Amino acid sequence: MIRVLIADDQALIRDGLSLIIDSQPDMEVVGEASDGAEAVRAAGALKPDVVLMDVRMPGVDGLEATRSVTSGGDCRVIVLTTFDLDEYVVQALKAGASGFLLKSSPRQHLLHAVRTAAEGGALLDPGLTLRLVEEHVRGGPSAPADVRAQLDRLTAREHEVLGLLARGLTNAEIASRLYIGETTVKSHVARTLDKIGARDRIQAVVVAYEAGLVRPGEPDEPPIP
């Protein structure tokens, strides 16, 4: 069972999310919180697999709570909001979130995000990914020294894998592009994430674009999911 904690200052939203989660045979709601501080305490006590975290909550907001929750263990956080502002996306990922979804997203997107996060993956609302990339590219053409140092640790093959990963390709698609086995790709991805200090594929995308390894609009760039 995937154990889920719901943090939102609106009781109606919490009730609705609870109904969706508890309707699934492989999920259960183990607790609720009405603000960020309560969410941090509940996450520490209940040890959920995934926290659905609202951004705007009184006192400690969802971004600060996400930072605390993700720094304290293996719990994954999916940030939910009614706002699709770029600044929230960037801040949520920097805080350690494994996903960012709008509350207007279809329920199947939410359920997929919970399962993906519980398995150690990451997921962004499809409409936000390109804007996230552009936000980092606008920061300037020069990568910070720490990012350059991270990329210097990669082999040539790992550079290739990171570039394709950052364009949104799956492991199977990367394997096909590089003419190698999918198991080999998984090994390359795991080593790449470890070397650049990325918790998951989403954070690896951030590093790749900060470093200028890939840029929006490049030729032969597959659609970003």
Co-location of 20 and 113 in the same domain: yes
Q: Is the dihedral of CA 170, 147, 119, 32 positive or negative?
A: negative
Q: How confident is the model at residue 146 (pLDDT cuts 50, 70, 90)?
A: low
**What tokens were used for 49?**
């697999």
pLDDT in tens, 73-84: 788 999 888 766
Q: Is the pLDDT higher at 136 or at 23?
A: 23
Q: How many helices (H) and strands (E) does the chain have?
A: 11, 6
pTM, two decimal places: 0.67
User: Is the residue at 42 inside a domain?
Assistant: yes
Report the CATH number at residue 152. Answer: 3.40.50.2300
Of 173, 164, 167, nearest to 192 (Cα)?
164
How many structural domains does the chain have? Answer: 2
User: Is the residue at 216 inside a domain?
Assistant: no
* Domain end among 69, 98, 124: 124
Co-location of 105 and 140 in the same domain: no
* Domain end among 124, 147, 176: 124
User: Is the residue at 167 inside a domain?
Assistant: yes
Domain boundaries, position 11: 2-124
* pLDDT score at 102: 83
Co-location of 170 and 105 in the same domain: no
